[in-house]
């Protein structure tokens, strides 16, 4: 190839790299513009949104291998976008002070070691312990381990709350999507008399989502999230927490009717699922009238989820 041919090939390579960098920057920045009408593609993208940043070092390597200065400079654009969107989760320093901690865990209904999982939750020393997929067979194990330190409990269906402080106004919350049986009971509300004042706590487990040939199946989950969002909008409590397995990230627009009414912690990625190699945080600690200052993912238990620990500052 002569010099002119090499220059043309170099310019084409530069153009491809620059286009790739713009695409990698534009997709997270404009994720809300990705349509959700076909296969829930928008929700699927938003589930793994931070991982789009993995494409940046790949583009950088291609630019180095191709000796493309333009490609390297273009990589700065998606880096800037990623830092703008997620840098706070990585670099921010939450306040050291907090009023209570809550550990949230989908303990898995096929967990072969519920007692060991309960001991792991107890070891966090959290004042509130919220669980999902609690089976009748496993419930005595959690009661035995948590009962002494957390004598107050509320259980409805497969969700439960153990508290170090008294509970009142305990009630089930019906967030069943259309067509689901009455035996589907996966949400409760209780008022916790914490040292800093009363806090309404919702423990929830929204319907599962599936990825299949038709796309991201989240219709039932989205319907349940909308029902829960409406309940929270009507709740008169000044201070409120929602903890649970929402089967979605806070960026997922399908959860918007719920998450738009709540505040997410400003620090910590805390990927919780799957436990063996976590890629998304679908276990959430969200607040209204309180500040969830930090959420951290803990070591794996016998579940396919990892527990997450939230620090809460009462306002």
Q: What is the pLDDT of residues 127-185, one digit of tens each?
A: 999 999 999 999 999 999 999 999 999 999 999 999 999 999 999 999 999 999 999 99
- pLDDT, tens digit (0-9, with 9 covering 90-100), for 131-143: 999 999 999 999 9
Final residue before a domain boundary, out of 39, 61, 91: 91
pLDDT at 211 over 90: no
Q: Are residues 76 and 143 located together in one domain of the fold?
A: no
Is the same domain home to 238 and 160?
yes
Closest by CA to 296, choosing from 48, 120, 124, 117, is 124
- Asked if residue 154 and residue 35 are part of one domain, the reply reads no
pTM over 0.75: yes
Name the domain boundary from 45, 67, 91: 91
Beta-carbon-side half-sphere exposure of residue 17 (alpha carbons within 13 Å): 27
Please say if the pLDDT value at position 66 is more than 90.
Answer: no
Report pLDDT for 264. 92
Number of H helices, E strands in the chain: 9, 13
If asked whether residues 45 and 149 sit together in one domain, one would say: no
CA distance 187 to 156: 7
Q: Are residues 52 and 176 in the same domain?
A: no
Instruction: Pick the closest to residue 138 from 311, 19, 302 (CA basis).
Output: 302
Q: Would you call the peptide bond into 274 cis, given omega within 30 degrees of 0 as the criterion?
A: yes
Average pLDDT of every residue of the chain = 92
pLDDT confidence tier of residue 255, bands split at 50, 70 and 90: very high
Answer yes or no: do 149 and 28 share one domain: no
Per-residue pLDDT for 248 more than 90? yes
* Structure confidence at residue 18 (pLDDT): 85
Half-sphere exposure of 13 (CA within 13 A, CB side): 18
Alpha-carbon gap, residue 224 to 258, rounded angstroms? 9
State the pLDDT at residue 3. 61
Residue 241 β-bridge partners: 201, 287
Contacts of residue 5, defined as CB under 8 A and 6 or more positions apart, other chains included, come to none
Residue of 177, 150, 234, 226 lying closest to 200 (CA atoms): 234
For residue 133, is it left (φ>0), alpha (ψ between -120 and 50) or beta? left
pLDDT(223) > 80: yes
Asked if 265 and 155 sit in the same domain, the reply is: yes
199 pLDDT more than 60: yes
pLDDT grade for 93, boundaries at 50, 70 and 90: confident
- The pLDDT, as a whole number, for residue 270 is 93
Strand stretches in 76-225, DSSP E: 100-106, 128-132, 152-156, 159-163, 167-172, 187-194, 197-205, 210-212, 215-217
Which DSSP state fits 249?
-
pLDDT at position 254 over 60: yes
How is residue 22 written in tokens?
Answer: 């713009």
Q: What is the pLDDT of residue 238?
A: 97
Contacts of 224 (CB under 8 A, 6+ apart): 175, 176, 177, 206, 207
245 and 106 in one domain?
Answer: yes
In the predicted model, what is the mean pLDDT of residues 99-117? 97
Question: What confidence tier does 203 reach under pLDDT thresholds 50, 70, 90?
Answer: very high
Region 224-244 average pLDDT? 98
Whether the CB-CB separation of 163 and 152 falls below 8 Å is answered with yes
Integer Cα distance of 290 and 4 in angstroms: 64
Q: How many angstroms separate the CA atoms of 291 and 240, rounded?
A: 10
Whether pLDDT at 291 is above 60: yes
Angle CA(232)–CA(292)–CA(225) in degrees, nearest 5? Answer: 30
High-pLDDT (> 70) share of the chain, %: 97
Domain that holds residue 158: 100-314
Domain co-membership, 17 together with 151:
no
The model's confidence at residue 5, banded by pLDDT at 50, 70 and 90, is: low
pLDDT-derived band at 2, boundaries 50, 70, 90:
low
- Give the whole-number percent of the chain exceeding pLDDT 90: 67
CATH number at residue 158: 3.60.10.10
CA distance 166 to 151: 8
**Residue 204 region by backbone torsions, left for phi larger than 0, else alpha for psi between -120 and 50, else beta:** beta
Partners of 129 in beta bridges: 103, 162
């Amino acid at each position: 190839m002569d010099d002119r041919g090499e220059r043309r090939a170099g310019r084409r390579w530069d153009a491809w790299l620059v286009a790739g960098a713009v695409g990698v920057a534009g997709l997270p920045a404009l994720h809300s513009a990705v349509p959700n009408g076909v296969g829930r593609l928008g929700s699927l993208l938003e589930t793994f949104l931070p991982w789009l940043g993995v494409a940046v070092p790949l583009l950088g390597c291609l630019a180095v291998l191709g000796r493309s200065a333009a490609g390297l400079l273009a990589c700065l654009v998606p880096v800037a976008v990623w830092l703008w969107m997620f840098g706070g989760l990585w670099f921010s320093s939450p306040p050291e002070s907090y009023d209570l901690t809550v550990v949230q865990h989908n303990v898995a209904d096929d967990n072969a070691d519920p007692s060991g999982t309960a001991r792991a939750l107890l070891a966090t020393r959290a004042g509130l312990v919220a669980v999902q997929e609690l089976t009748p067979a496993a419930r005595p194990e959690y009661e035995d381990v948590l009962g002494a330190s957390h004598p107050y409990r509320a259980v409805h269906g497969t969700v439960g709350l153990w508290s170090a402080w008294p509970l009142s106004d305990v009630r089930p919350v019906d967030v069943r999507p259309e067509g689901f049986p009455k035996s589907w009971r996966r949400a409760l509300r209780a008022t916790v008399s914490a040292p800093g004042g009363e806090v309404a706590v919702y423990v929830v487990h929204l319907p599962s989502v599936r990825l299949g040939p038709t796309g991201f199946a989240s219709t039932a989950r989205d319907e349940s999230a909308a029902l829960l969002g409406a309940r929270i909008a009507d709740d008169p409590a000044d201070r409120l927490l929602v903890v649970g397995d929402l089967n979605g990230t806070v960026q997922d627009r399908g959860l918007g009717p719920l998450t738009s009414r709540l505040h997410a912690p400003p620090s910590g990625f805390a990927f919780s699922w799957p436990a063996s190699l976590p890629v998304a945080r679908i276990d959430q600690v969200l607040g209204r009238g309180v500040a969830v200052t930090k959420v951290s993912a803990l070591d794996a238990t016998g579940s396919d989820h990892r527990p997450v620990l939230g620090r809460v500052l009462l306002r």
